[in-house]
Structure 1
Amino acid sequence: MPLARIDVAADTSAETVKIIGAVIYEAMTGVANVPANDLYQIVTRHAKEELIYPEEGYLGVTYTPQIVFIQVTWNAGRSIEVKKAFYKAIADGIHERAGIRKEDVFITLIDVQREDWSFGNGEMQYAPKP
């Protein structure tokens, strides 16, 4: 049920975007116990002036124009340990497979309830059972 929004610079190659998406999906299924085939991603490319970050860095982390913003909306309930492992798997995987600095992998999570999803047909597929 996760939805990943991936925001990258306009000049990011199609191959790099494909790698980023694959790494996120692999971390979801391998670390966060997301079911197979539960793959929903939205990739948006941006002009340089549309990706805004502190050029002097923040919390000891500095960024470059290769920054990748990843926002994942998923069901609430995962532990802090799972979330930490998820962040690490994504940053390590993107670095190893796409050559993007770990510092340039910015991730946020949005926890929602199961009933906050409709996968189509105007239905609440995960409606609470009476």
Structure 2
Amino acid sequence: MPLTHISLRAGKPEDYRQAIFDSLYRAMHETFNVPEDNQFMTISEHDAANFRYGASFLGIARSDDLVFIQITANNTRTLDQKKVLFRRIAALLGESPGIRPEDVFVNLVEVAKENWSLGNGLAQYA
């Protein structure tokens, strides 16, 4: 049950943003076995004054097209699954909407299954 928050510089068209949603969901579906209707994602756009990044941290040449992706998910995946997810996200975002792999920044936050309420005030996974 991933919850995904995406942050990017303001100004990209709607089809670009929708392509990010579609590519991210596809990567999670393929590598994390996320079910078909399990799409909970937001995009936040930021003007230049409110979007800062290390342009060359760890020797990676980032641009203003950088996308921050934070995925909160159950702590049930292996290290290999996580590595495959990261590679698949970068590959699919490269295909659509055309984001360079250097500009794909992913942070996975893992939580215990009982830390979710998906509606109705219930802990569905507890």
Fold agreement, TM-score > 0.5: yes
- Once residues 37 and 74 of structure 1 are traced to their aligned partners in structure 2, the CA distance between those partners, rounded to angstroms, is 15
- Once residues 50 and 93 of structure 1 are traced to their aligned partners in structure 2, the CA distance between those partners, rounded to angstroms, is 27
Deviation sequence 1:87-112 (CA, Å, 0-9, x none): 11111111112121110010000000
**Alignment of structure 1 residues 21-32 onto 2, 5 Å:** 21-32=21-32
**Alignment of structure 1 residues 49-88 onto 2, 5 Å:** 49-55=49-55, 57-88=56-87
Q: TM-score, normalised by structure 1?
A: 0.93
Q: Which runs of 5+ in 1 are unaligned?
A: none
- Once residues 72 and 5 of structure 1 are traced to their aligned partners in structure 2, the CA distance between those partners, rounded to angstroms, is 7
Match of 1:17 in 2: 17
* Aligned residues between the structures: 126
Match of 2:121 in 1: 122
Task: Give the superposition deviation at 1:53.
Answer: 0.6
Q: What is the RMSD of the two structures over their aligned residues, measured on CA atoms? A: 0.9
Match of 2:111 in 1: 112
Q: TM-score, normalised by structure 2?
A: 0.96
- Once residues 61 and 87 of structure 2 are traced to their aligned partners in structure 1, the CA distance between those partners, rounded to angstroms, is 17
4+ residue runs of structure 1 moved beyond 3 angstroms?
A: none
